[in-house]
Chains A and B, each alone.
Chain A
Amino acid sequence: MAKQVFNSDILIVDDQDASLQLLFELLDKKGYQIRWAESPQIALETATQKPPGLILLDVNMPGMDCFEFCMRLQKDKRTQQVPVIFISSENDLDSRVRGFEVGGVDCILKPFQEQEVLARVKTHMQMGEMKQNLEKLADKSPTELTKSIASLEKEIKTLKESEGRLRLVFENSYDTIVIAQDEVVKYCNSRITELSGYSIAEIYSMKFSELIHPDDKERVGSEYKARLSGYKAKNSYSVRIITKDEKEKHVLVSSALVTWNNEPATLAIITDITRLKEAEAKLIRSEERFRQLMEQSPLAMEILSPDGRIMVINSAWKTLWGVNDTEAAETIDKYNMLTDPQLEKLGVMDEVKEAFKGKHIVLPPIKYDTGQTKEDFDIMILEELISPWIQSQLYPVLDSEGNIAFIVNTYLDITELKNAGEMVRKSKDDFQILMEASPLGIAIYKPDGKIDQVNTAFKKLWDLSDEEMAVVIANYNYFTDKQIKSLGLSPMVERAFKGESIIMPPIDYEGNRTIKDLGLENIEAQTRTIQTHLHSVKDAKGEVEFVVIINKDLTDIKQAERDAQQQRESLARLDRASSMGQLTGSIAHELNQPLTGILSNAQAAQLMINKDKWDKQELNEILTDIVNDTKRAGSVIHNLRELYREQKIEFNPLDVCMLVEDTLQLLRSELIIQDTKINIDCPPSLPVVNGTEVMIQQVLVNLIQNGIQAMEKIEKDERVIRIDVVQDGSFVNIAVTDKGIGIDSDKIDHIFEPMVTWKPGGTGMGLAISNSIIESHGGKMWSRNNKLGGATVGFSIPIPAKTT
């Protein structure tokens, strides 16, 4: 601010440094030139040398009495006109009175009121100037005076013109202007009609007080009297008036004393402030409502002033921070006492400033460390908050004029939310740990079909280092869809992304080839048998977020399975060999029967020919029989070879009934020796099954032999084996029932396990092999003891899906 320089300077006379300093600063700021003197002597000296524009004089001074100082000033012509303002303490009435007597123009009371000092100083400076000017004028010549009078008259004329303009202004004023004497309206403009509903004529004939609201009459009366007595009261006051149609209106009355027709009168400018009042009332009501709402809100709130200080808080605020009323007040006091830099350090000021620009600001969640705040600023009462996670939002609140009145800061306790978030994050961490720890190779695919990450087991599975894996992933992700499709997994991934869970059959991966496909050369990789599971993982909305591909390494299991299979097969051969021993006699018999036929027939024919006693027909019959017997012998040998041969499973359609019959042929002699009858129930309408004939025969032989052995101890005419063949859904069941001693109850659950036998001399392999054979056919074996004695052991063979 540029200093306003006055013609005259100010001389301060005061011996008290503090007040001198204060005055000096105050006036200096306003552009006055200041001189100062510590004692009246010095002041007198400097004042006479160069008279100041104004002297500020402390009443209580050492040395010279200030009144004496004043009288000396009066006596000196140079300083005669300098106005002196006394500075006095409030209760020192005597010195004030004396001050005025010795020529003081005014008095300022200590302690200083800044505005008052300035106003008084300014007034007296101007008055002093005016006085000086007048005196200068008085010194001038009469002609100049006449000139002055002429210009004065001119001014009067101008004034009259201006009076006319004034009247115009009056009439056109938006405010109601009234001039009244003794409450009777002497003059008013037409606005009065709009305001009160009365015509101007009506107004002239009534007392102005009649317009006033009865409750306000007394107040207006006293105002009026005060005004009349010259008391300089408030310039304006608000009052209620009653209109002609008995409506209440608020008006603002600004009154002044004027002279009307040489009589004192009151000029009142009346402004209709009804709407303003209503708005105000509304504002108050809404403010109240706001405060109530705020108070009732479960949300902790505080109202911030533009400088970031807390103005109001609500109950929820106290609850949130866990403080009682006293503590809250204390906390807020401490907070508000923080300096701006401290507030800046707390980090909210920028946001507050932004909010005051009209922005709604959502602050990031903050974990309040009360200990820290306490340490830094010593404001928080509590050591620890129960709910430390808080999200603050700053809302600017506008006043009725659309300006930002204040900022409401809401605290939303998001601790639970945050904790939930933590848990989600933690569960994600857990997932990571689990994934890493899993012995299964896991790869995660993103919805775009790219590999997101793989775990250690995955790398181990493919025998890849981290770097190599990175290359593989990068290459894979760089592949085109077509390339990925050629790798074969892609359609499965797509299906998985549609939400399907897929378990693929075990696949033998040629390690080197696969690795090469994935863009890695010169890496040795084993051939592995891998079973792949694809699981889709859905997010909270139920949409597939990613697909987890789990690679289960079945290489070792498969190898073990193959070993076991080989072992089983060799065991099977062993068992076949041992059962061959038992079967030798039987087979020899079966072979010798047709051979007998052949030999006898042939020799008969020889005899006939030798004796020349033959006919063509008979020889033909003989030869036919020989052919049939030869075939029969051939088939016996064929069966024999089948039994001895290392078997490979080769599925052919089998007629089960025929198979049973053929098997019985193999066992014929044994059945005869053991006097065992066979009853077969095999419906001819059964569908064919797929299987390897000799293997199933082997199973049947095993079961029938077991049955025969189980019946060795019972009466011969009771030795019966029943073979039931039935269709059961998609299976053909073949059950062999004997009437023998049954299976030991403690072994019945284990008889299909190797080395479990319940018969003397048994190897315990027969049923185990049978079981493996039936399993390899996709069927099942079962066994039970029958209530009426004996056991049933059976098996099932699946019927192919499409049997035509």
Chain B
Amino acid sequence: MNEPIIYIVDDDPSVRKALMRLLNSAGMHTEAYASASDFLEFGNCDRKGCLILDVKMKDISGPMLHKKLIEQGCEMPIVFLTAHGDVPTSVEAMKKGAVDFLTKPVDASELFEAVQRALAKDRELRTIREEYSGFVENIQSLTPREYEVMTYVITGILNKQIAAEMSISEETVKVHRGRLMQKLKIVSVAQLVRLCEKTGIKSAIIKGDY
């Protein structure tokens, strides 16, 4: 359960089989699907791992599957494999968050590298997802005042300025700030800003001209 799985989606059985064999020989676990719809039906997006996706396939193409996965909130990193290096398709894929866009025939080292990157990304994404889900939970424990201070903190202004804005003492701001950081298990303002942004918490509107 802890080992990541490399999902291979390619409608060419020969390619499918060779890729599985290569990755397996490198000690990786693989699962192969002959079509996008097969993957959508049987694949598990929650699993640790990544997706090696062929671009040109019958019915549902690689980029289309990518789109569908995003829609479903599946963030599994994707390494695209294409036999036909067509620039617009690769740009579009990268924009949408593809880890790499490799052209066939692909060298083993190149492939392994991309897979490793994808797996790293997967790990990263998993960490972020865990952090985020804690944050959303912890935010409930904040007092209204602490929440308010937080909205000012993420604007990036100084404690003194927050105090002025809130018409409270600088000391009070410091106390609230310390407590909310503690409650949210956050170490830096940057992390807070990122998480708030992700959660959709809006920063306070600053009146003063700083």
Interface residue ranges, A against B (CB under 8 Å): 585-586, 588-601, 603-608, 611, 613, 618, 622, 625, 628-629, 632, 669, 672-673
Contacts and interface: CB of A to CB of B under 8 A. Distances in A.
Interface stretch (B54-62, B139-147, B159-167, B188-196): B54-62
Where chain A touches its partner, the secondary structure class is helix
A599 B57 contact: no
Given A595-B105, A611-B25, A622-B21, A589 B56 contact: yes
A632 B14 contact: yes
Nearest to B23: A604
Interface string B54-97: 00111001000000000000000000010111100000000000
B104 A601 contact: no
B36 to A, nearest CB: 12
Given A592-B104, A592-B105, A601 B21 contact: yes
Contacts of B18: 596-601, 604, 625, 629
Contacts of A622: 21
10 contacts: A589-B83, A597-B14, A597-B17, A597-B18, A600-B108, A605-B25, A608-B25, A628-B14, A629-B14, A669-B83
A665 to B, nearest CB: 12
B133 interface: no
A605 B111 CA distance: 15
Nearest to A584: B84
A588 B14 contact: no
B203 interface: no
Contacts of A625: 14, 17-18
Given A592-B104, A628-B14, A613 B25 contact: yes
Nearest to B26: A607
B106 interface: yes
Contacts of B22: 600-601, 603-604, 607
A603 B14 contact: no
B107 interface: yes
Contacts of B111: 600
A629 B106 CA distance: 15
Given A585-B86, A604-B25, A625-B17, A595 B104 contact: yes
B53 interface: no
Contacts of B25: 604-605, 607-608, 611, 613
B115 interface: no
B34 interface: no
B49 to A, nearest CB: 19
Contacts of B83: 588-593, 596, 669
Interface residues of B, number: 27
A513 to B, nearest CB: 59
Nearest to A626: B18
A585 B14 contact: no
B127 interface: no
Nearest to B89: A673
Contacts of B15: 593, 596-597, 600
Given A589-B84, A593-B14, A672-B57, A604 B105 contact: no
Contacts, number: 95
B113 interface: no
A603 B56 contact: no
A327 B131 CA distance: 149
A100 to B, nearest CB: 164
Closest 5 pairs between A and B when the two form their complex, measured CB to CB: A592-B83, A600-B18, A603-B108, A595-B105, A596-B104
A590 B105 CA distance: 11
A608 B24 CA distance: 9
A625 B15 CA distance: 10
B51 interface: no
A509 to B, nearest CB: 56
A595 B84 CA distance: 12
B155 interface: no
Contacts of B14: 593-594, 596-597, 625, 628-629, 632
Counting chain B CB atoms within 10 Å of each CB, which of A591, A599, A608 scores highest? A599
B197 interface: no
B80 to A, nearest CB: 13
A618 B22 CA distance: 12
B63 to A, nearest CB: 11
A599 B107 contact: yes
B56 A673 contact: yes
B42 to A, nearest CB: 22
Contacts of A595: 104-105
A604 B61 CA distance: 27
Contacts of A591: 83
Contact of A600 (B56, B103, B105): B105
Nearest to A608: B25
A604 B24 contact: yes
A595 B17 CA distance: 13
B19 interface: yes
Counting chain B CB atoms within 10 Å of each CB, which of A592, A613, A618, A672 scores highest? A592
A603 B84 contact: no
A568 B209 CA distance: 79
A672 B104 contact: no
Given A600-B18, A600-B21, A672 B105 contact: no
Contacts of A600: 15, 18-19, 21-22, 105-106, 108, 111
A597 B61 CA distance: 20
A588 B21 contact: no
A600 B22 CA distance: 6
B124 interface: no
Contacts of A585: 84, 86
Contacts of B57: 672
B148 to A, nearest CB: 52
A483 B19 CA distance: 78
Contacts of B81: 596
Counting chain B CB atoms within 10 Å of each CB, which of A600, A604, A606 scores highest? A600
B171 interface: no
A591 B56 CA distance: 14
B24 A596 contact: no
Given A593-B15, A625-B18, 15 more contacts: A588-B85, A589-B83, A592-B103, A596-B106, A597-B14, A597-B17, A597-B105, A599-B18, A600-B18, A600-B21, A600-B111, A601-B21, A607-B22, A622-B21, A672-B56
Counting chain B CB atoms within 10 Å of each CB, which of A590, A593, A625, A628 scores highest? A593
A604 B15 CA distance: 12
Nearest to B108: A603
A316 to B, nearest CB: 103
Nearest to B11: A672
B108 A607 contact: yes
B189 to A, nearest CB: 47
A742 B15 CA distance: 38
B38 interface: no
